[in-house]
Amino acid sequence: MQLDWTTFVLEIVNFLILVWILKRFLYQPVLQAITRRKTVIEQTLAEATREKTDAQALEQQYRTRLDTWEQEKAQLREQMLGEVRTEREQHFAELENALAREREKNRVLDERRLQDLERKLSDDAKGEGAAFVARLLSRLATPALETRLVEVAIEDLQQLSDRQRRPISSAVADANVTLKVTTSYLLPEEQRQRFEQALNRAAGKVVKPEYTQDAKLLAGLRACVGPWILQANLQDELSFFAEAIRHGDAD
């Protein structure tokens, strides 16, 4: 069998033409389509990657903002709780101070009321005591008691020192001044004479007393001339007793 080079060459040419045709009209469009598809896919993947990256960045940003917001919220909550605690403590302190002032005020008022009550009870008791003593002395006031009180006055006059007699001497030196003697009962003559003798000795001269009676004295006598006064009677003693009670209350 002989090789026909012409045919062989033509076959090769045909094959090359076929290959060119296939490449030109089939492979090249397919390749271009594949390339375009690949480009689209790559663009899509790139877009998806970019969007994913953006989404991750946005997510991270949101997470950061959320964390920051949580921190700020915690700080604000702590600050608010601190302010509430401070305000509550201030209110409690003010309330405690107000209660303390109210307790002190009530204590002072109670103490004052107690003092007033004690003073009233003391005044009542002392008043009742003075009234009781007055009633008792009124019942004990008799001529015999007056006689004894006049004797006490005579003894006091007899025991006066020179210094104590000077006021009496000065008082009776004025002739226009009268020495008045007041008794509750009529003095017996003998006792009156002894009283005048003691009075003359104390005055350093003879005096003529002017006698009067006053039942308010209860018993005893009261002698006065000028500023000098001799008190030896129940009424004056009761006055001294009441005055002592008042001074005791004032103290």
**Chain segment 44-99, per-residue pLDDT in tens:** 778 777 877 877 787 788 788 878 878 888 888 888 888 888 888 888 788 888 88
Q: What is the mean pLDDT of the chain?
A: 79
Greater model confidence, 194 or 234 = 194
Instruction: Give Dmax (Cα) for the chain.
Output: 214
User: Three-class SS of residue 128?
Assistant: helix
pLDDT in tens, 153-194: 889 888 888 898 888 888 888 767 788 999 988 989 999 999
> Per-residue b/e over 36-67, b at no fewer than 16 CB within 10 Å?
eeeeeeeeeeeeeeeeeeeeeeeeeeeeeeee
The CA-atom distances, in angstroms, between 32 and each of 39, 40, 43, 80, 168 are: 10, 12, 16, 69, 160
220 pLDDT higher than 80: yes
Residue 111 CA to residue 122 CA, distance in Å, equals: 16
Higher pLDDT, 100 or 247: 100
Structure tokens at 194: 């002894």
Q: What's 54's DSSP letter?
A: H
With a cut of 80, say whether residue 205 has pLDDT above it. yes
> What 3-state DSSP class applies to 2?
coil
Q: Compute how many other C-beta atoms are within 10 angstroms of the C-beta atom of residue 235.
A: 22
Alpha carbon distance 127, 175 (integer Å): 43
Q: Mean per-residue pLDDT for 125-152? A: 69
